[in-house]
Structure formats: structure tokens, C-alpha cells
Amino acid sequence: MRIEAYTQVQQVYSNKKVNQVQKASGTSHTDQLQISSLGKEIQAAKAALAGTPDVREELTAPIKAQVQSGKYSVDNAAFAEKLLKKYEEMR
């Protein structure tokens, strides 16, 4: 038995059934999409975020300038203390 022949015959019969159902119903159906108010709010928020930059240059520019000039320094003890505090909060 050839598998190709079977699938071709099956396609012919399934097409006839679809055509018969469409002719018998005689009505056309349309799809509709309704977006909820929450969905509309999410779309508005996405649109607002799309227009904003990822990096706030007004905050990062002074620090970047200090780093490039070599004047930026970090207090190691304060950094370690904050790091340990965050670690304790996460546990």
C-alpha cells in the first residue's frame, strides 16, 4: 500500500466535507477581537515606556565624568557594609 496515495485520497474527502458544510450553513462568520480596559492600559504603558531612554543620562553623566577623570572613589568599608546588609535581607 502506498502512503502517498492514501493521503491524497484523504485530502480529497476532507475538502469535500468542508465545502459541503460551508454550502449547507449559508452564513458567513466573522472573527472579532475585544481588548479589555486593563489590556488598553497595558498598551498605553508600553507605548509610554517605548519613548523613554533606557539610561537616565542626567544622573549617570556626572558619575561617568568622575570615573573618567579618576576622581571617583568608593568607600570600601561602606560598600562592604551595604553588601552584607543586602545579603542578610535576602536570607
Give pLDDT, residue 86.
95
- pTM (predicted TM-score): 0.37
Quick check: is 10 in a domain? Answer: no
Residue 77, CB half-sphere, CA atoms under 13 Å: how many? Answer: 0
Domain with 88, as residue range(s), is 55-91
Residues of the chain with pLDDT under 50: none
Quick check: is 86 in a domain? Answer: yes
Query: What percent of the chain is helix, strand and coil (3-state, nearest 5)?
Result: 70, 0, 30
Quick check: is 32 in a domain? Answer: no
Based on the structure, what is the number of domains in the chain? 1
Quick check: is 22 in a domain? Answer: no
Quick check: is 42 in a domain? Answer: no
Quick check: is 62 in a domain? Answer: yes
Residue with C-alpha cell 542626567? 58
Give pLDDT, residue 31.
86
* Integer Cα distance of 67 and 19 in angstroms: 73
